[in-house]
Homo-oligomer: A and B are copies of this chain.
Amino acid sequence: MLARYNHSTRILLALDCIVFGFDGEELKLLLIKRDFEPERGKWSLMGGFLNEDEDLEVAANRILYDLTGLKDIYFEEIKTFGEINRDPVERTVSVCFFALINIHAHSQDAAKAQNAFWISLKDRPDLIFDHSNMVDLALERLRYRAALHPIGFELLPEKFTIPQLQKLYEAIYDTPLDRRNFSRKILSTKLLIDTGEKNENSATKKAILYKLDQEKYQRQFNAFHYFVSDFKV
């Protein structure tokens, strides 16, 4: 054994992830129906432990990949939960983060292997440990971020319409938004490119399909936009 610090407490470090998805109508969570101990049969977030030879960020990507089959997922760290008794099995400190994915793009097989299911936010069950608190905080953070930064696009397919984007924002904030003001706001960011196509799935007037200007998105990511202008955190 090499040199070590003279401090006895070494702790199991977990990561727990809130995965948000959007089906066009509602905001959803990818939750695990546990077929393993502890708390078998109950619902929880997807999680895992940090390995000895693994960066924390690498571990987060690994856990997301195991759950969704996707790489390069958008995620943000939220908070590290470290109450003594948060895990009844053993003292565990958990680094918690949320991820945004296109609900139609992930691997069904990967989700199935983890016994994971999409659950509407409005129907969310009680979760084990402090996972419900984590979801509360994730939702708060998502609202905070999405009000100012264009992260909502991460939840949509490559091509999307402005009404779809609006429905997403309405789902995130659980509030109706004015169609005309929202459209003006979004278009003023110049982040959207008209693909020339229209949404053929519509039963009424077909909406214009846009795609994100990826280059401008990366460049302007940190500029405030106030997507939901009357939103108070």
B52, A80: Cβ atoms closer than 8 Å? no
Interface of A is mostly: loop
CB distance from A1 to the nearest CB of B (A): 10
Residues of B with C-beta under 8 A to A2? 90
Residues 91-134 (chain A) with a chain B CB within 8 angstroms: 91-93, 95
Q: Tell me if A57 counts as interface (CB < 8 A to partner B).
A: yes
Chain A interface size band reads 35 or more
Residues 1-18 (chain A) with a chain B CB within 8 angstroms: 2-5, 7-13
Knowing A11-B13, A224-B233 touch, does A5 contact B90 (C-beta < 8 A)? yes
Question: What are the 9 tightest A-B residue pairs by CB atom distance, in nearest-first order?
Answer: A56-B82, A10-B10, A222-B233, A9-B52, A7-B49, A4-B90, A80-B80, A55-B83, A80-B95
Tell which of B4, B93, B223, B233 touches A56, judged by Cβ atoms closer than 8 Å. B93
Knowing A82-B55, A91-B52, A232-B222 touch, does A12 contact B9 (C-beta < 8 A)? yes
Q: Tell me if A203 counts as interface (CB < 8 A to partner B).
A: no
Q: Tell me if A19 counts as interface (CB < 8 A to partner B).
A: no
Q: Tell me if A51 counts as interface (CB < 8 A to partner B).
A: yes
Tell which of B55, B79, B93 touches A50, judged by Cβ atoms closer than 8 Å. B93
A84, B53: Cβ atoms closer than 8 Å? yes
Q: Tell me if A136 counts as interface (CB < 8 A to partner B).
A: no
Complex interface bits, A147-158 against B, C-beta within 8 A gives 1, otherwise 0: 000000000000
Given contacts A10-B12, A11-B50, A55-B83, 4 further A-B contacts (CB under 8 A): A53-B84, A55-B82, A77-B80, A80-B80
Tell which of B4, B52, B93, B232 touches A224, judged by Cβ atoms closer than 8 Å. B232
Residues of B with C-beta under 8 A to A178? none
Q: List 22 A-B residue pairs with CB atoms under 8 Å apart, sorted by A's residue number.
A: A2-B90, A4-B89, A5-B49, A5-B89, A7-B49, A9-B49, A9-B51, A9-B52, A10-B11, A11-B11, A11-B12, A50-B82, A53-B84, A55-B83, A55-B84, A56-B81, A56-B82, A57-B82, A57-B83, A77-B79, A222-B232, A222-B233
